[in-house]
C-alpha cells in the first residue's frame, strides 16, 4: 500500500523528462500500471487483499458485560415466578388499585386537543419556550420575584435524569473546583450522572437507621464541614429512596446554614404534587430558599406527577444574580445540550404546556395528582395498621411518617430474600418498598408476610 501511494503522491515529471530517452519512459510504465492496479483494488475491496500482518485488527473481546440494574433483576425474577399472587414492590412507577399503569384523563384530553395541530419540526436547543415558562412558574411560583426580574436561566430537558446531567456538565465547565455532595442514601443514578461528568462526589449523612428517619445532626455537621462553593444535591420532596423529608423548621435551618457557608443548593424535584397531593406544598422548600436569597438550581420531571414516563420531559433551571447572568448561563445550558442530544422531544412538551396553560385541564390534573398521592398515603396507613394489629415486634410509625413513592421499610437483605423465596414478594435488597405496588387486594398478604419473616427464627 505504501509503495502504491508513493507513486500517486510523487510530483509529476518535470519538463525535462519529456526529452528522456524512449527506453527510460517505457521502463517506467509497467511499475506505474501495477501501482494503479493495486490502489484501485484497495479502493473497492478495502484491506481484504492484504495479509493479516498489514491490516489493523479491531476486537471487542476486552469489553466486559455491564452489571445488571438491580430493578431489572427484580422485574425479571417477578416475571418468572409462576405464583398468581406474586407482588412486585420494586418498580418506581404509579399503579392503580388493580396494579395497572395509569394514563391521566388530563393527559388524554390534552392529547385530543393537540392532535393534528402541530408540525413535527425540531424544537430549539432550549426546547419549547412556553413549556419552559410554565415549568419554572410551577417550581418557583407564579409571582416569584426571580421570574419577574428575569434572573432564571432555564431549558427543556430529558426529564429528571437529563436535567441532572446538564447540571453535572455545567458544574464541570463552570464550577470546576466544586464537588457535589450527595445524600446517603440517594437515587442510584445520581452517582452515575455526576461520576460520568467527572465531577467530584462527596457524601453527606441523611438517613438514620436507628430511627428510620432523618439524621439531622449528621446532615448539619457535614454541611458545616463542606468547603465554600460546594454544591449540595437536595431532594425537594419525597426523598428517594427513603421517603424521609426534613420538616419545614429543619428546611429553614438547612437554608440558613447553606447561606452562611456559601453552599449552592441544587434541588432534584421529581415528585412535585405526587408527595403530598399539593404542588404548592411540595415546592415549599425551594421557595423558602428563594425567600432566603439563595441562588439555586432545580431539576423538574413530569414522569411521576403527570405519568409521562416514556415522554422524557422535564426542565432544568438556575436562579442567577441578574438578567445578564441568566442570559449567559442559559446560552451555556444550550451549548451543553447541543452535542449531547441536540434538542429535546416535542410531544411531551406539548402535553405539559396544554395542561398547565388551560385552567380546566390544570384543575383536572391537580385533582388527579392528588388522587394518586392519596391512594399511596392510604396504603401506608393500612400497612402500618395491619402490622401493628399483628403485634409486630417492630414499631411501624416510620411507614406513615415517610412520604411519596417509596418507603424505607427497615427490612434487611435477608428479610427481602425470604420474602421473595417464601412469599413471592419482590423489592430491592435495601428494603425499599414501592408503595404504588401495594393495593387493597394485596396489602393483607404483604403485612402477614413481613410479619412472618421478621419473627422467623434463623
Is residue 304 flagged as an active site residue?
yes
Here the cell at position 381 is: 396507613
Answer yes or no: are the C-beta atoms of 320 and 295 closer than 8 Å.
yes
**Burial (Cβ within 10 Å: 0-12, 13-18, ≥19) of residue 359:** exposed
| Interatomic CA distance for residues 394 and 405, integer angstroms | 22
Selected catalytic residue, list 179, 187, 365, 396: 187
Please tell me whether residue 207 adopts helix, strand or coil conformation.
strand
**Burial (Cβ within 10 Å: 0-12, 13-18, ≥19) of residue 394:** middle
Any bridge partners for residue 234, and if so which? Answer: 267
Please tell me whether residue 285 adopts helix, strand or coil conformation.
helix
Is residue 365 flagged as an active site residue?
no
Answer yes or no: are the C-beta atoms of 204 and 182 closer than 8 Å.
yes
Answer yes or no: are the C-beta atoms of 155 and 166 closer than 8 Å.
yes
Is residue 187 flagged as an active site residue?
yes
Selected catalytic residue, list 179, 215, 245, 304: 304
| Interatomic CA distance for residues 39 and 7, integer angstroms | 10
Nearest Cα neighbor of 391 from 336, 346, 451 is 451
> Which residues are within 8 A (CB) of 233 and not within 5 positions of it... i.e. 6 or more apart?
180, 181, 182, 183, 186, 190, 266, 268
| Interatomic CA distance for residues 47 and 199, integer angstroms | 42
Distance of CA 234 to CAs 152, 231, 255, 268, 286, Å?
A: 19, 9, 11, 6, 10
The helix (run of H) or strand (run of E) holding residue 256 is helix 248-261
What distance lies between CA 78 and its chain's CA centroid?
24
Answer yes or no: are the C-beta atoms of 300 and 138 closer than 8 Å.
yes
| Interatomic CA distance for residues 376 and 95, integer angstroms | 10
> Which residues are within 8 A (CB) of 411 and not within 5 positions of it... i.e. 6 or more apart?
419, 427, 431, 450, 453, 454
Answer yes or no: are the C-beta atoms of 288 and 153 closer than 8 Å.
no
Selected catalytic residue, list 179, 245, 268, 282: 268
Answer yes or no: are the C-beta atoms of 95 and 431 closer than 8 Å.
no
| Interatomic CA distance for residues 286 and 315, integer angstroms | 15
What distance lies between CA 120 and its chain's CA centroid?
26
Active-site residue numbers?
A: 187, 268, 304
Amino acid at each position: 500500500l505504501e509503495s502504491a501511494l508513493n507513486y500517486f503522491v510523487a510530483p509529476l515529471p518535470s519538463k525535462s523528462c519529456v526529452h528522456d530517452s524512449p527506453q527510460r519512459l517505457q521502463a517506467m510504465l509497467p511499475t506505474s500500471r501495477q501501482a494503479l492496479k493495486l490502489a484501485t483494488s484497495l479502493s473497492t475491496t478495502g484491506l481484504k487483499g492484504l495479509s493479516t500482518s498489514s491490516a489493523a485488527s479491531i476486537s471487542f473481546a476486552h469489553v466486559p458485560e455491564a452489571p445488571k440494574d438491580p430493578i431489572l433483576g427484580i422485574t425479571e425474577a417477578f416475571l418468572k415466578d409462576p405464583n398468581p399472587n406474586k407482588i412486585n414492590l420494586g418498580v418506581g412507577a404509579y399503579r392503580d388499585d388493580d396494579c395497572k399503569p395509569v394514563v391521566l384523563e388530563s393527559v388524554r384530553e390534552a392529547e385530543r386537543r393537540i392532535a393534528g395541530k402541530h408540525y413535527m419540526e425540531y424544537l430549539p436547543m432550549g426546547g419549547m419556550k412556553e413549556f419552559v415558562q410554565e415549568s419554572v412558574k410551577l417550581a418557583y411560583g407564579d409571582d416569584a420575584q426571580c421570574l419577574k426580574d428575569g434572573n432564571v436561566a432555564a431549558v427543556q430537558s430529558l426529564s429528571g435524569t437529563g436535567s441532572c446531567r446538564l447540571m453535572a456538565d455545567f458544574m464541570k465547565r463552570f464550577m470546576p473546583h466544586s464537588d457535589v455532595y450527595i445524600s446517603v442514601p440517594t437515587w442510584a443514578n445520581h452517582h452515575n450522572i455526576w461520576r460520568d461528568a467527572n465531577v467530584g462526589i462527596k457524601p453527606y449523612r441523611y438517613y438514620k437507621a436507628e430511627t428510620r428517619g432523618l439524621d439531622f445532626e449528621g446532615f448539619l455537621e457535614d454541611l458545616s464541614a463542606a468547603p465554600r462553593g460546594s454544591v449540595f444535591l437536595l431532594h425537594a420532596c419525597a426523598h428517594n429512596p427513603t421517603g424521609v423529608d426534613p420538616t419545614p423548621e429543619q428546611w429553614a435551618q438547612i437554608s440558613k446554614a447553606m447561606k452562611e457557608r456559601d453552599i449552592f443548593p441544587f434541588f432534584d424535584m421529581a415528585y412535585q404534587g405526587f408527595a403530598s397531593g399539593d404542588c404548592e406544598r411540595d415546592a415549599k422548600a425551594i421557595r423558602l430558599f428563594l425567600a432566603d436569597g439563595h441562588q439555586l438550581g432545580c431539576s423538574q420531571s413530569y414522569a411521576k406527577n403527570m405519568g409521562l414516563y416514556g415522554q422524557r420531559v422535564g426542565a432544568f433551571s438556575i436562579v442567577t444574580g441578574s438578567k445578564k447572568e441568566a442570559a449567559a448561563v442559559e446560552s451555556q445550558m444550550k451549548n451543553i445540550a447541543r452535542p449531547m442530544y441536540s434538542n429535546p422531544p416535542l410531544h411531551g412538551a406539548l402535553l405539559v404546556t396544554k395542561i398547565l396553560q388551560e385552567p380546566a385541564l390544570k384543575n383536572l390534573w391537580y385533582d388527579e395528582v392528588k388522587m394518586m398521592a392519596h391512594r399511596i398515603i392510604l396504603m401506608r396507613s393500612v400497612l402500618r395498621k395491619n402490622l401493628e394489629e399483628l403485634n409486630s415486634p417492630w414499631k411501624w410509625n416510620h411507614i406513615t411518617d415517610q412520604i411519596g413513592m417509596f418507603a424505607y421499610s427497615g427490612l434487611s437483605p435477608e428479610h427481602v430474600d425470604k420474602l421473595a423465596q417464601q412469599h413471592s414478594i419482590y423489592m430491592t435488597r435495601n428494603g425499599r418498598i414501592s408503595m404504588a405496588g401495594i393495593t387493597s387486594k394485596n396489602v393483607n398478604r404483604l403485612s402477614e408476610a413481613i410479619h412472618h419473616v421478621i419473627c422467623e427464627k434463623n
